[in-house]
Amino acid sequence: MFLTRVRTTAAAGALALSALFTLSGCSLLDDSGTSAASEGGGSQGAGDDSPGADADIPYDVTPLLKPGKKYFGAAVDGAPNSMKGVDTYTAMTGKKPNLIEYYAAWGDGFDAAGVRNAWDEGALTLVSWEPFDITLADIAAGEKDAYLKKYAASVRRLNLPVVISFADEMNGHWEKWGTRNVTPKQYVAAWKHIHDTFTDAGASNVIWAWSPNIVNPVKSVELEPYYPGDGYVDWVGVIGYFTHEEDNAYQSVFGPTLDEIRTFTKKPTLILETAAEPGERRRADVRNLFAGVEADDDMLGFVWFDHKKRADWRLKVSPLALKEFKRLAADDLFGFDVRKP
């Protein structure tokens, strides 16, 4: 997410574009510091959070944790608060995404209306929850428990499955909550406090996705110290992009990270955020992505970041790559109605 989340500073402006591509990733902020939520990429908390099922019985997410088919996910403008972007993406790729990712800052309310919108169309919502204006130490200490408890209560009240990825790319130095500012101990403490607060609220309808960046640009940072433990994590959501600066083999992009992760947990993995840099190689990148995900039984699927943020990751700008993407997406292995896993 480094590419689009960096705030505009003199230091950031001096970075070469090739360095940005090497680090990969995209997320909440564009170059001007505008949040995806303010652009229609999520809600600031308003919405219908009336129960999606029997309010007295928490939704059982177990069938969604490792379904028989792969998740076919997308992050698109406006979704899931508005599903128009999803409809456009569906028409373009020939298949409806069943995992919709949006970005929310710490302090935003839970987008219950958006989660319901996605659910009504057979899709699960993934919230990338980013603590820009709060320290992880304060979260762990309970300084923002009033907000946290209200958020957890809203999630429980809606009682539909939702995926939460908190403070992703913690192994990167480019994040406020990354390696330059936060220790692994502080990160784990904040994660556990959030998880425990949701548990106390009865919000067991959450799938927790722990989401490091691929290790390629930060090989010296060990992942295991940042891992909260199997009791606090349901999915490992890896974030990584196909860029021109490195070999585009699936194993080259994701292999080192997956190999390291599997030394300390056997939890299912998901490519939580990915795309391929535009250019002549993009068609091959798409082919490698689908083939790699298909061949890995522990890989749940992927989310394509279909935004223009520091690079144009949208499929529509590369007709040949889009044609290949559409051909491969037609495989019945990818996508399913999450209401009937």
Contacts of 296 (CB under 8 A, 6+ apart): 258, 269
pLDDT at position 52: 67
Q: What Cα–Cα distance (Å) separates residue 276 from each residue in 114, 303, 314, 325?
A: 27, 12, 9, 11
User: pLDDT, tens digit, for every residue of 209-237?
Assistant: 999 999 999 999 999 999 999 999 999 99
Mean pLDDT of the chain: 89
Q: Is the pTM of this model over 0.95?
A: no
Tell me the C-alpha distance between 281 and 168, whole Å. 28
pLDDT at position 193: 98
User: pLDDT, tens digit, for every residue of 150-199?
Assistant: 999 999 999 999 999 999 999 999 999 999 999 999 999 999 999 999 99
Give the position of tokens 């009682």. Answer: 159
Question: How much of the chain exceeds pLDDT 70, in percent?
Answer: 85
User: What tokens appear for 252 in the block?
Assistant: 């080259």
User: What tokens appear for 284 in the block?
Assistant: 């091959």
* Per-residue pLDDT at 13 exceeds 80: no
* Per-residue pLDDT at 297 exceeds 60: yes
From the list 101, 121, 273, 324, the catalytic residue is 273
User: pLDDT, tens digit, for every residue of 22-66?
Assistant: 344 444 534 433 334 433 333 444 457 777 666 789 999 999 999
pLDDT at position 49: 75
From the list 101, 121, 130, 169, the catalytic residue is 169
224 catalytic residue (yes or no): no
130 catalytic residue (yes or no): no
Q: Average pLDDT, stretch 98-126?
A: 98
More confident residue, 324 or 31: 324
pLDDT at position 9: 33
More confident residue, 5 or 304: 304
User: What tokens appear for 20 in the block?
Assistant: 């940005």
pLDDT at position 140: 98
pLDDT at position 56: 81
Q: Is 334 exposed, middle or buried (0-12, 13-18, 19+ CB in 10 A)?
A: buried
